[in-house]
Amino acid sequence: MDPRLRCAVDASVGWYDDLCALHGVGSVLVDGIWSALAPPPPLHSAAVTVEPDVTAERVLARLADGPRGGVKDSFSTVDLGAAGWELLLSASWLHRPPAVPRAGRWVDITGARELAAWTSGHDTADVLLPGLLRSAHFRVLARYERDRIVAGAVARLGSGTVDLSNVHGDVDWDELASAVARIFPDRQLVGYERGDDLAAAVAAGFSPVGELRVWVPPTP
């Protein structure tokens, strides 16, 4: 496996584990599948494949004993369509070598009121709780124009890799990478995007290193 892909997938699993813990939800990682022990936070899947040899049957068996929710297929190898599941989205994993730190327009969100303004523009108020601001390996970043947030991102440090997520708004990806390098220097960057955001990230030096899919269960 491409080690860049391995870093991206593992960083995403670390994000899921941390976000679930923030919401008081336990999790397990068994037989190549990470899964939540209770309903996961909004916008998050109940299971994530961590190894490329995981089968659809194994995923469905895991979910039969756990909370109902989506599946993040980290390698685009699990087809749940035959079981009636719907494909929610496809995206590309991204990797970028360490960026050069530069002064720029991105700043840290440090208070609950600022975080509320940040999440209100990204529909994540029920996901990114204020407790996230008390974790040393997380940074919630924003770019302001006057007093208005026009772009945002979350950076999570884990095992020498920074996972970029929740990137939104008017983003200069090269500037964002340099802002993260000021906080977490000499770390490779990973994440995933699709559409115009994917194209913008690639133009700023990120490389696609794999494909992922997110499946949602059939309507009861």
- Reported as a single tens digit per residue, the pLDDT across 44-88 is 999 999 999 999 999 999 999 888 899 999 999 999 999 999 999
Q: What is residue 65's predicted lDDT score, i.e. its pLDDT?
A: 82
- The mean predicted confidence, pLDDT, of the chain is 96
Gap between the Cα atoms of 201 and 91, Å rounded: 13
| Entry pTM | 0.95
In this structure, the answer to whether residues 47 and 133 fall within a common structural domain is: no
Chain mean position to CA 56: 22
The answer to whether residue 195 scores a pLDDT higher than 90 is yes
Q: Give the end of a domain, one of 74, 94, 114.
A: 94
In this structure, the answer to whether residues 162 and 200 fall within a common structural domain is: yes
Residue 215 lies in a domain: no
User: Tell me: the pLDDT tens digits for 130-168?
Assistant: 999 999 999 999 999 988 999 999 999 998 899 999 999
Residue 219 lies in a domain: no
In this structure, the answer to whether residues 90 and 102 fall within a common structural domain is: no
In this structure, the answer to whether residues 66 and 157 fall within a common structural domain is: no
Gap between the Cα atoms of 88 and 103, Å rounded: 38
Q: What is residue 75's predicted lDDT score, i.e. its pLDDT?
A: 98
The answer to whether residue 98 scores a pLDDT higher than 90 is yes
Residue 161 lies in a domain: yes
Mean pLDDT value across residues 105-119: 96
Question: Exposed, middle or buried by CB within 10 Å (0-12, 13-18, 19+), for 108?
Answer: middle
Q: Give the end of a domain, one of 51, 72, 94.
A: 94
In this structure, the answer to whether residues 133 and 52 fall within a common structural domain is: no
Count of domains in the chain?
A: 2
| Best CA proximity match to 28, nearest among 38, 39, 36, 18 | 36
In this structure, what CATH number is given to the domain that contains residue 183? 3.40.630.30
CA atoms within 13 A on the CB side of 141: 33
Of 87-91, 157-161, 191-195, the least confident: 157-161
Q: Which domain holds residue 63?
A: 3-94
